[in-house]
Structure 1
Amino acid sequence: MRRRLLIGLTAASVLTAATACGSSDSGEPDGAGSSGGTTTVTVGLIPIVDVAPLYLGQKKGFFSERGLKLDFSSAQGGAAIVPGVVSGQFEFGFSNMTSLMIARSSDVPVKAVANGIASTGVVGEDFEALTVKGDSPIKSPKELEGKKVAINTLKNINETAVRAAVRKAGGDPDRVELVELAFDQMPAALDGGRIDAAMVVEPALATIKSQGGREIASPMVDIAPKLTVAMYFTSTRYAQENPEVVQKFQEATAESLAYADSHPDEVREIVTTYTRIPADVLAKVTLPKWPAEPDRAAIEELARLGEADGLFEQAPDLDELLP
């Protein structure tokens, strides 16, 4: 069954929104403000474990000591965050690499400014997984042909990952029915039989396992051992007009990533402040890696897969996209 409800991110729609966005009377771009030497910036995020370093960095003062205050705004996925950043609703955003590459391939003016997360590189021990209900007869991604599989948003890295897993197992990814569902809704939908499988990340992965669900693949590990899954980004316009703010954000984010990578207990604690995951489930969460730099070779492989799946209008210019 051909994929349904495919949604595209067009340059026209976001560029129209961008032109409607101006500057406030204070001279700061809309959504940003400064007071007493502190600049407040809004960051579009997904409420998942991946973004814990920013919450932790804010708490530890890594941003405030550079004159920044972060205002977090939640969204379902990177595909929704991209237009928010380009329109000026957010100064910065967190998005998976595929959504960013789709944007660049459509001439949407986005620029990655800081690394986000990477796969652990270990099959069966990653922060993401393709999962099924415990009593499901499905044992392999090949058996997802004709089945309903949930991903958080269409035309993003999780679509690429599911399709790659099915293809690697000898199946036809075009026969998989992909449906959109927020990560935090996937455990209940899977347990209730409303979907046959879910491409899920932490903390929802731990919840599914606590319900007896099981993994049938670690698709992102299969794409590349050290896959750069997501990055923080801004609009090219904001980067050009606010280079000092962008530099401060980059520096504070880098410090936050390094701190999170070496303080897993504090990561788990901070996750409780922006998700509703129970403490006993949180203790079992597999944390991603938070390296300082993106893996260019892994991103190139992700781009190759996205191009093969027809996700891009033209090959994305990675030199223009990456820092």
Structure 2
Amino acid sequence: MRCTHRTFTALAAVVLLSAAAACGSDSDAGSGGSGSSGSGGGGLTTVKVGVIPIVDVAPLYLGQRQGFFKKQGLTLSMTTAQGGAAIVPGVVSGQFQFGFSNSTSLMIAQSTGVPIKVVANGVGSTGKDGDDFGAVVVKKGSALKSAKDLEGKKVAVNTLKNINDTTVREAVRKDGGDPSAVHFVELAFDQMPAALAKGQIDAAQVVEPALATVKAQGGTVIASNYVDTAAKLTVAMYFASTQYTQAHPDIVKKFQAATAESLTYANSHPDDVRQILTTYTKIPQATLDTMVLPDWPAEPNRTSLDTLAQLGEKDGLFKKNPDLDALLP
């Protein structure tokens, strides 16, 4: 989700690339997403999905293992990235058929003319202050006690100009502080616990499993930024390029059906979620046991997304306001 000026220059170029690709054949549009690999004479369509190696995407891995995607005739080939904004260009260029990104980065991309469409819900906040899967944390013994104390401090987020710095600003604002006085730095989630412990940053906005790691080191939560922003915030969603959704509506429907079943399964099988994380992350068992799991609702929370859009406008993230009716399913 590297949402720096470099990324948006790349995104602008990707828009042109996508427009050119739209003039190609239908088989070009489905390249990488229509290869068969199966057994017993029944072929499976392989689709490439850009994801982040965090707890949020556990339902996809579970759905693959439980056979939900196979039942729809699909098999997933997943590639990890630091964040969702880095995945957007890959989806639009055809490197991935589907991608996972935080809601704010999707709004920013859509508002700049990047041709994307949300196809399925991704992950949501628990809505519980002090007991969410994402939070602002400080190291043991820190003098920082609340969001207002972040004024003038160095706070790590996984990428700039995404849902995490947006929601941290809102937490600071609601606590009576000046959100413009926070100094954000970009750092991968898995690097944040060590940077915090060494004093290289004053605070970090982390999600699980980094949150549990910081707590195990004696760190504490000083703000539940997702909860402070909106009730049951829709944090991230799965998306595709508009070109792909138009060229392959059948595959999109199959992906939606399998993803919906996977989200429901993850919500009702927390032990399976913790176990599947061992297959794509290197999380110690003690950390797995203490992690706070997110919610995986079947549908995005539109009210929370409207709030995010308003905050993005307030923070100057958009050249023009995103069209949520066009972006959402």
Q: Deviations over 1:201-253 (max 9, x none)?
A: 00100000000010000010111111111110000000000000000000000
**Structure 1 residue corresponding to 2:125, chosen from 119, 122, 128:** 119
**Structure 1 residue corresponding to 2:285, chosen from 273, 276, 279:** 279
Per the TM alignment, residue 6 of structure 1 is displaced from its structure 2 partner at its CA by 5.8
* Structure 2: distance between partners of 1:190 and 1:24: 50
* Structure 2: distance between partners of 1:16 and 1:66: 33
Per the TM alignment, residue 147 of structure 1 is displaced from its structure 2 partner at its CA by 1.1
Residues 111 and 233 in structure 1, CA contact (< 8 A), matched pair in contact too: yes
- Where does residue 9 of structure 1 map in the other structure? 8
Is structure 2 residue 148 aligned with structure 1 residue 142?
Answer: yes
After TM superposition, list the pairs within 5 Å mapping 1:92-131 onto structure 2. 92-131=98-137
* Structure 2: distance between partners of 1:29 and 1:93: 15
* Paired letter, 1:210: A
Residues 30 and 247 in structure 2, CA contact (< 8 A), matched pair in contact too: no
* Structure 1: distance between partners of 2:252 and 2:142: 47
Per the TM alignment, residue 31 of structure 1 is displaced from its structure 2 partner at its CA by 2.5
Is structure 2 residue 223 aligned with structure 1 residue 224?
Answer: no
Per the TM alignment, residue 114 of structure 1 is displaced from its structure 2 partner at its CA by 0.4
Q: Deviations over 1:167-223 (max 9, x none)?
A: 111211111110110101111111111111000000100000000010000010111
Moved more, 140-149 or 32-41: 32-41
TM-score by length of 2: 0.93
Per the TM alignment, residue 20 of structure 1 is displaced from its structure 2 partner at its CA by 6.0
Is structure 2 residue 167 aligned with structure 1 residue 167?
Answer: no
- List, as ranges, runs of 4+ consecutive aligned residues in structure 1 with deviation greater than 4 Å: 4-8, 19-28
* Paired letter, 1:29: G
Per the TM alignment, residue 5 of structure 1 is displaced from its structure 2 partner at its CA by 6.1
Q: Deviations over 1:105-129 (max 9, x none)?
A: 1111110000111100100000000
- Where does residue 257 of structure 1 map in the other structure? 263
* Structure 2: distance between partners of 1:25 and 1:240: 10
Residues 113 and 232 in structure 1, CA contact (< 8 A), matched pair in contact too: yes
- Where does residue 217 of structure 2 map in the other structure? 211
After TM superposition, list the pairs within 5 Å mapping 1:241-256 onto structure 2. 241-256=247-262
Residues 59 and 262 in structure 2, CA contact (< 8 A), matched pair in contact too: yes
**Structure 2 residue corresponding to 1:306, chosen from 306, 309, 312:** 312
- Structure 1 27/138 Cα, relative in aligned 2: closer, same or farther at 3 Å? closer
| SS of match in other structure, 2:300 | coil
- Where does residue 31 of structure 2 map in the other structure? 30
**Structure 2 residue corresponding to 1:41, chosen from 42, 47, 70:** 47
Residues 7 and 154 in structure 1, CA contact (< 8 A), matched pair in contact too: no
Per the TM alignment, residue 14 of structure 1 is displaced from its structure 2 partner at its CA by 1.8
Per the TM alignment, residue 29 of structure 1 is displaced from its structure 2 partner at its CA by 2.3
Q: Deviations over 1:77-132 (max 9, x none)?
A: 11111111111111000011000010111111110000111100100000000000
Per the TM alignment, residue 30 of structure 1 is displaced from its structure 2 partner at its CA by 2.9
After TM superposition, list the pairs within 5 Å mapping 1:61-100 onto structure 2. 61-100=67-106
* Paired letter, 2:286: D
Moved more, 50-59 or 78-87: 78-87
**Structure 2 residue corresponding to 1:52, chosen from 41, 58, 78:** 58
TM-score by length of 1: 0.95
Moved more, 263-272 or 163-172: 163-172
Per the TM alignment, residue 141 of structure 1 is displaced from its structure 2 partner at its CA by 1.5
Residues 68 and 258 in structure 2, CA contact (< 8 A), matched pair in contact too: yes
Per the TM alignment, residue 25 of structure 1 is displaced from its structure 2 partner at its CA by 10
Number of residue pairs matched by the alignment:
320
Query: Unaligned regions of 5+ residues in structure 1, if any?
Result: none
Query: Unaligned regions of 5+ residues in structure 2, if any?
Result: 37-41
| SS of match in other structure, 1:161 | helix
* Structure 1: distance between partners of 2:28 and 2:128: 48
* Paired letter, 2:67: G
* Structure 1: distance between partners of 2:240 and 2:27: 21
Q: Deviations over 1:53-79 (max 9, x none)?
A: 000000000001111010000011111
Per the TM alignment, residue 19 of structure 1 is displaced from its structure 2 partner at its CA by 4.5
| SS of match in other structure, 2:290 | coil
Per the TM alignment, residue 8 of structure 1 is displaced from its structure 2 partner at its CA by 5.6
| SS of match in other structure, 1:283 | helix
| SS of match in other structure, 2:68 | coil
| SS of match in other structure, 1:171 | coil
Residues 5 and 179 in structure 1, CA contact (< 8 A), matched pair in contact too: no
- Structure 1 26/313 Cα, relative in aligned 2: closer, same or farther at 3 Å? closer
* Structure 2: distance between partners of 1:5 and 1:299: 22
* Paired letter, 1:12: A
